[in-house]
């Protein structure tokens, strides 16, 4: 497996693949790869001849008070995970090459970028959309694979690609969970053993939401308040949101009128912020 | 010469060209083509195997009080001009296909988009950058050709392409002028005969700026005030700006320390807004 670190090298590599008629998939990541990422690489492997995994902790998507500096990094392990999952290349550029001095071009997907994650993390999705557009220009894939764990991000990126007329198939892979249900995340390493146990409530709460929808509950407020109460019992340091969202528009709905419906939440345990969601189908 | 109006058709055409190893040039225009546009198509012809001229009056770059509705349109004549200048394709999409309902993705090149033209026309360059990025994604050119008449636009688009890692050669063609010096513009048709004569002052003023720089004048304020006075004598309805600009940064400079230096102006005669500029070299 190849490690490429310069943008022109990556562009040359991808151009050569295309010239040889290879179908190219890209899996953009911030590294510290876990089995969730590996599952996305495997999806890329099934869909394309050449799989590029990008590993880049993107400064543009972190707020000034966020964890850019502490975000966990381990390129050697990332290389091993990516290779084992079937990646042909890891692209790992330096921040200074991605954002040279006088860098000033940004993409925004309006409205949806200001709700839920975007409301709590102003500018976050501008940073995400911008870096992904850059990575798509650099790797020029036929397919790009994202994770459902970051449901709003996947929605925004699909919208960006459609709005900007990029001819790229956007594939969203399912959430991969630990045995006790916690959604895999590079940030899980931040949790203390005690927080790690309390964090199990997120998956329990989401399954509770599915149950209640199956029982015919339609008022979003009922679901929100029941989930909020369940989570509060585990003493989080804060609940950023519990939201019932139409996955077609990513807008919160007062009442569940159609399925599938997305229940999404963001909760802090200690200093660690976790997000999770479930797409509930009509029973 | 081919007329294509649908985005997927245009994408297919361009993909086929690339597969056959053809070098593709695009010349984005708002139509109502004149010899200035023709000169850009000729440049495209010299640089590529296949030349695409896009004709699209882009609603996203007009302010609510601006001339989107009245902007002159004449597709038949545009087709004739484009063919004669050597274009292989005219791409002419409908606004509703470029900006379908729920369209929400925009590109901004920050800071430089808020000065000069951007200060007078808020949101203008966001609209320009967005439509050009879309057109570049749709036509996937090796070369894109723009006119120096819209100097700030050319600067912003070159910056966008560099920042976003598009591998496209950006070529800027020189200003083409009428015999009396007026820069060619689709908006010149708005001028009354009397305004048309008074508008000659713009080119006279720019030549005066060149003369003064050649004579050793370095203070931007001197150049600005002399040009403003010259233009005022022709009774414009307003002078939006007279600016002395470093072409490397597109920032106004208080004093000319290096060459080339750009002198740019925007002046209104009646209801018609004209822009023009000159790149002054060290004598």
Q: Do B11 and A105 touch (CB under 8 A)?
A: no
What are the tens digits of pLDDT across the range B176-211?
Answer: 999 999 999 999 999 999 999 999 999 999 999 999
- Using a 10 angstrom Cβ sphere, with 0-12 exposed, 13-18 middle and 19 or more buried, the burial of residue A51 is buried
CA-to-CA separations, B95 to B5, B6, B92, in angstroms, rounded: 11, 11, 9
pLDDT at A194: 97
Residues A155 and A218 in one domain: no
Test mutation, B20, B103, B105, chain A, max A CBs within 10 A: B105
Rounded-to-integer distance, Cα B88 and Cα A258, Å: 49
Q: Do A164 and B105 touch (CB under 8 A)?
A: yes
8 Å CB contact between A78 and A90: yes
Question: Is B178 part of a structural domain of the chain?
Answer: no
Rounded-to-integer distance, Cα A218 and Cα A45, Å: 40
Residues B152 and B200 in one domain: no
Write down the residue that tokens 């209640």 correspond to. A212
Contacts of B173 (CB under 8 A, 6+ apart): B39, B40, B43, B145, B146, B147, B148
**Would the pLDDT of B283 be above 80?**
no
Q: Is A7 on the interface with B (CB under 8 A)?
A: yes
Q: Which of A110, A165, A167 sits opposite B134 (nearest CB)?
A: A165
Chain B residues with beta carbon closer than 8 angstroms to that of A106: 107-108, 110
pLDDT at A230: 98
pLDDT at A282: 85
What are the tens digits of pLDDT across the range B140-172?
Answer: 999 999 999 999 999 999 999 999 999 999 999
Q: Do A163 and B138 touch (CB under 8 A)?
A: no
3 state DSSP class of A87: coil
DSSP at B282: P
Would you tell me which residues 46-75 of chain A have a C-beta closer than 8 angstroms to some C-beta of chain B?
A: none
Residues A134 and A203 in one domain: no
Q: Is B251 on the interface with A (CB under 8 A)?
A: no
Q: Which of A7, A104, A159 sits opposite B104 (nearest CB)?
A: A159
pTM: 0.97
Residues B77 and B98 in one domain: yes
Q: Which of B148, B173, B198 is the last residue of a domain?
A: B173
**Would the pLDDT of B10 be above 90?**
yes
Q: Do A164 and B129 touch (CB under 8 A)?
A: no
Q: Of B37, B124, B208, B235, which one is the catalytic site residue? A: B37
Residues B143 and B250 in one domain: no
Question: Is A178 part of a structural domain of the chain?
Answer: no
Rounded to the nearest angstrom, the minimum Cα separation between B139 and chain A is 10
Q: How many domains does chain A have?
A: 2
Question: Is B283 part of a structural domain of the chain?
Answer: no
Share of chain B above pLDDT 90, in %: 99
Chain B residues with beta carbon closer than 8 angstroms to that of A133: 164
Residues B29 and B126 in one domain: yes
Question: Is B180 part of a structural domain of the chain?
Answer: no
Q: Which of B111, B138, B164 sits opposite A165 (nearest CB)?
A: B138
- Measuring CA to CA, which residue among A274, A99, A59 is closest to residue A175? A274
Residues B195 and B151 in one domain: no
Q: Do A165 and B103 touch (CB under 8 A)?
A: no
Question: Is A179 part of a structural domain of the chain?
Answer: no
| pLDDT by 10s per residue, chain A, length 283 | 999 999 999 999 999 999 999 999 999 999 999 999 999 999 999 999 999 999 999 999 999 999 999 999 999 999 999 999 999 999 999 999 999 999 999 999 999 999 999 999 999 999 999 999 999 999 999 999 999 999 999 999 999 999 999 999 999 999 999 999 999 999 999 999 999 999 999 999 999 999 999 999 999 999 999 999 999 999 999 999 999 999 999 999 999 999 999 999 999 999 999 999 999 998 6
Residues A116 and A227 in one domain: no
Rounded-to-integer distance, Cα A6 and Cα A94, Å: 8
Q: Do A105 and B164 touch (CB under 8 A)?
A: yes
Q: Do A109 and B104 touch (CB under 8 A)?
A: yes
Q: Do A106 and B108 touch (CB under 8 A)?
A: yes
Residues B151 and B221 in one domain: no
**Interface predicted TM-score of the whole assembly (ipTM), two decimals:** 0.96
Q: Which of B173, B198, B213 is the last residue of a domain?
A: B173
**Would the pLDDT of B99 be above 90?**
yes
Domain containing residue B202? 186-278
Would you tell me which residues 124-143 of chain B have a C-beta closer than 8 angstroms to some C-beta of chain A?
A: 129, 133-134, 137-138
Q: Do A111 and B105 touch (CB under 8 A)?
A: no
Backbone angles phi, psi at A180, to 5 degrees: -90, 5
Q: Is B166 on the interface with A (CB under 8 A)?
A: yes
Please report, for the domain that includes residue B131, its CATH number.
Answer: 3.40.50.620
Please report, for the domain that includes residue A223, its CATH number.
Answer: 3.30.1300.10
Q: Which of A104, A111, A133 sits opposite B111 (nearest CB)?
A: A104
> What is the rounded average pLDDT of the residues B7-31?
97
- Measuring CA to CA, which residue among A148, A1, A132, A17 is closest to residue A75? A1
Question: Is B109 part of a structural domain of the chain?
Answer: yes
Q: What is the largest CA-CA distance in chain A?
A: 58
Share of chain B above pLDDT 70, in %: 100
Chain B residues with beta carbon closer than 8 angstroms to that of A23: none
Residues B88 and B206 in one domain: no
Active site residue A111: no
Question: Is B117 part of a structural domain of the chain?
Answer: yes
pLDDT at B226: 98
Q: Which residue of B has its CA nearest to A156?
A: B105
CA-to-CA separations, A63 to A66, A124, B109, in angstroms, rounded: 5, 7, 20
Q: Which residue of B has its CA nearest to A21?
A: B19
Q: Do B134 and A164 touch (CB under 8 A)?
A: yes
Q: Is B105 on the interface with A (CB under 8 A)?
A: yes
Q: Which of B117, B139, B173 is the last residue of a domain?
A: B173
What are the tens digits of pLDDT across the range A131-185?
Answer: 999 999 999 999 999 999 999 999 999 999 999 999 999 999 999 999 999 999 9
pLDDT at A226: 98
pLDDT at A241: 98
| Interstrand relation of B89-91 and B50-55 (parallel, antiparallel or unpaired) | parallel
Question: Is A248 part of a structural domain of the chain?
Answer: yes
Residues B29 and B65 in one domain: yes
Q: Is B233 on the interface with A (CB under 8 A)?
A: no
| E-strand stretches of B165-260 | 169-173, 238-246, 251-252
Query: Distance from first CA to last CA of chain B, Å, rounded?
Result: 44
Q: Which of A7, A107, A159 sits opposite B107 (nearest CB)?
A: A107
- Using a 10 angstrom Cβ sphere, with 0-12 exposed, 13-18 middle and 19 or more buried, the burial of residue A175 is buried
Rounded to the nearest angstrom, the minimum Cα separation between A137 and chain B is 6
Q: Which residue of A has its CA nearest to B161?
A: A105
Residues A161 and A190 in one domain: no
pLDDT at A271: 94
- Compute CA A84 distance to the chain's CA centroid, rounded to the nearest angstrom: 21
8 Å CB contact between B150 and B127: no
Q: Do B107 and A105 touch (CB under 8 A)?
A: yes
What are the tens digits of pLDDT across the range A86-108?
Answer: 999 999 999 999 999 999 999 99
């Amino acid at each position: 497996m190849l490690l490429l670190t310069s943008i022109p090298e990556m562009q040359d590599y991808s151009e050569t693949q295309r010239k040889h008629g290879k179908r190219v998939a890209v899996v953009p990541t911030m590294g510290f790869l876990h089995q969730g990422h590996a599952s996305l690489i495997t999806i890329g492997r099934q869909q394309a001849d050449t799989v590029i995994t990008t590993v880049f902790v993107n400064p543009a998507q972190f707020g000034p008070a966020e964890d850019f500096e502490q975000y966990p990094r381990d390129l050697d392990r990332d290389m091993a995970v990516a290779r084992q999952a079937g990646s042909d290349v890891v692209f790992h550029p330096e921040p200074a090459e991605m954002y040279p001095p006088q860098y000033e071009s940004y993409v925004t997907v309006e409205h949806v970028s200001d709700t839920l994650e975007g409301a709590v993390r102003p500018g976050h999705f501008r940073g995400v959309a911008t870096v992904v557009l850059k990575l798509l220009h650099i790797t020029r894939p036929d397919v790009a694979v994202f994770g459902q764990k970051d449901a709003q991000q996947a929605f925004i990126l699909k919208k960006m690609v459609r709005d900007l007329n990029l001819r790229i198939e956007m594939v969203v892979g399912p959430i991969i969970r630990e045995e006790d249900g916690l959604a895999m995340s590079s940030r899980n390493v931040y949790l203390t053993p005690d927080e790690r146990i309390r964090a199990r409530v997120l998956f329990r709460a989401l399954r509770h939401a599915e149950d209640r929808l199956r029982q015919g509950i339609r008022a979003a407020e009922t679901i929100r308040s029941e989930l909020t109460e369940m989570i509060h019992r585990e003493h989080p340091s804060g609940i950023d949101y519990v939201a019932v969202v139409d996955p077609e528009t990513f807008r919160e709905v007062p009442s569940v009128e159609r399925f599938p419906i997305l229940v999404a939440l963001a909760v802090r345990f200690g200093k660690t912020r976790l997000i999770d969601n479930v797409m509930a189908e009509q029973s």
